[in-house]
Amino acid sequence: MFALAMVPFAATSVHAQSLRCIEEHLVSETRLDERPISYAMLDNGTLAVLHIDPDAVIRFYDTSHDTLELVGEYIPSSASYRNTIHAHGNDIYTCLPASDHPDSQDAIFVIDACDPSNPTLRTEISVEHNLNLADFEGNTAYFMNDDFLGPGDGFLYVYDITDPDKPIRRRRVNTGLRVPREHGFQVAGGLMHISTYDRISTYTIDEAGQTKWQHAYRFDVNAVWAMEAVGQMLYMGHDEKFEIYDFSDPANPTLRASDDRPSYGGIIIDGSTAYVLQNGIGVYDVSNPDAPHLTGHFSDYAGVNGVIPFNDRVLVTRDSGVSIFNQTVKDYQGPEPLTTLTGGEPHEMVIQDNTAYIANGSFRMTIYDLTDPMAPVFLDAVGEGYFSEDYRQIAADEDSIVTASDEGTIGIFTNIDPTQPDHVASISDFVSVTDMDIENNLLVVIGFVEGDSPGVTEGTLGIYDITEPANPIQRSMLPGFGDPQWIRLTDSSAITYDASSDFDTDHRGLVSFDITDP
């Protein structure tokens, strides 16, 4: 019933290969199935995770060991992708919208997880809106709804939770602000900061929960992506910089420091350390707010949505699981990007000589000249008209470039002219492709094909001879994979990783195949 699979580093997914250079810092990885969408850490060291696919469930994991250990779960009535969970002490707060509530009533559930093996519902707070944003200061809880319902629906609710079994409403007010879910709001030091796309509005809060507008700062950027408030300091990230503001005088905040690295995700403050989701995860020493400096930088992989420092570990959460690092990762000096390319929906990239080929989602395949890595030059975007699906995977050798779409169609291009690949053939054996590699004119594909029964797919490895790219020849098809993740070719061997939790899967885990005779 519990979908939990711990993946040791030697058998991680393809995304984790980028972390091999910091292997000494990585303790373990845990794959979480059933679509984890929200994480929260309790004071007792329990990680709460909200899953919503196929059913809504909040699962609780013990983080005191080298790997996550599932210890309990709580099943709410329902949940959607818009729901979030928030921790205060050892309690979880989550809002169930009227559309999902059995009584058609918006409500906040307060779940007692002091014993994470047996979480119980403390109380249910009836409200008038779906309040999926939350923050806490002391024994006061602040809830807001995001802008899903449109302008003017930024309602703020303030509750006294001194007795979490009997929360007392102190105030409800319509702020009139559109609050994006991913930006939210922060409460600290008697101040409330609300992010609304390109500006931050600041309010003072008195003991009765009364708010008073103090200041609105508009940034000349597309969006404020993240903020974290600690005392009178506000740490803010947008698409140009990571900045620190001092709100000792709330009506006249001052900029204390600015770093020219853009922030596209969350900011987490742990004492004098700031973790900033940038191109990877930037680690800053912010002990002196006038002179923050980057102490470490490590690249993570797809779907990263948060960092949770806890005791001597750093948990990195993403949309498929959790990686646990030692605190030593804070000082790891990983490579920082020389430049950043924006636009499109990049999934994978290969480089031949000084040319980069990017599987760029619905933008098909985009090509850049990297002769000067500080100033990449866009050359072309190809693929329109060959097949309509998004490009997700890409592989290349000296003669060919191979792409795979989200619906399994494989396209073969010749790169006689690297700037203008010519589409010469397609392969349609797969319904989805998870990874590919090419060596010595052999294209090896791992993914899923149609099974024996309608609607059933089977994990399969396929080998093709592409000596003549316009005439690919299928050499073999090997079934028996449950959840194939990646494949690499080296010295006439194919190394695969299957993350299936089914021990009856033929090729589970890390497996090497001899393909001398394909």
- pLDDT, tens only, 118-129: 999 999 999 888
Domain extents in the chain: 35-181, 182-298, 348-514
Residues of the chain by 3-state class (helix, strand, coil), percent to 5: 5, 50, 45
For residue 397 the two structure tokens come to 């050798």
Q: Which residues pair with 254 in a beta bridge?
A: 246
3-class DSSP assignment, residue 18: helix
Spacing of C-alpha 105 from chain mean position = 31
The Cα–Cα gap between 255 and 290 comes to 9
Whether the per-residue pLDDT at 16 is higher than 50: the answer is no
**pLDDT interval class at 361 (50, 70, 90):** confident
Total count of residues recorded for the chain: 518
Q: Each residue of 431-465: pLDDT tens digit? A: 989 889 998 889 999 999 998 888 788 989 999 99
**pLDDT interval class at 114 (50, 70, 90):** very high
Who has greater pLDDT, 334 or 104? 104
Question: What's the topology of domain 182-298?
Answer: Methylamine Dehydrogenase; Chain H (2.130.10)
What type of residue is 182? Answer: E
3-class DSSP assignment, residue 21: helix
Residue 9: the pLDDT is 27
Q: What is the DSSP letter of 23?
A: G
Q: Which residues pair with 87 in a beta bridge?
A: 92
Whether the per-residue pLDDT at 514 is higher than 90: the answer is no
Whether the per-residue pLDDT at 59 is higher than 70: the answer is yes
3-class DSSP assignment, residue 164: coil
Question: What's the topology of domain 348-514?
Answer: Methylamine Dehydrogenase; Chain H (2.130.10)
Q: What is the DSSP letter of 505?
A: -
Same fold, 35-181 and 348-514: yes
Q: Spell out the CATH class of 35-181.
A: mainly beta
Q: Across residues 69-82, what is the average pLDDT?
A: 76
pTM for this one?
Answer: 0.65
Q: Each residue of 36-56: pLDDT tens digit? A: 888 999 999 999 998 876 678
* In 99-237, alpha helices (H): none
What type of residue is 257? Answer: A
Q: Is the Cα dihedral 33, 34, 36, 37 positive or negative?
A: positive
End-to-end CA distance of the chain: 39
Locus of tokens 């309608």: 454
3-class DSSP assignment, residue 490: strand
Spacing of C-alpha 494 from chain mean position = 29
Whether the per-residue pLDDT at 65 is higher than 50: the answer is yes
Whether the per-residue pLDDT at 79 is higher than 60: the answer is no
Q: Each residue of 414-429: pLDDT tens digit? A: 877 777 788 899 999 9
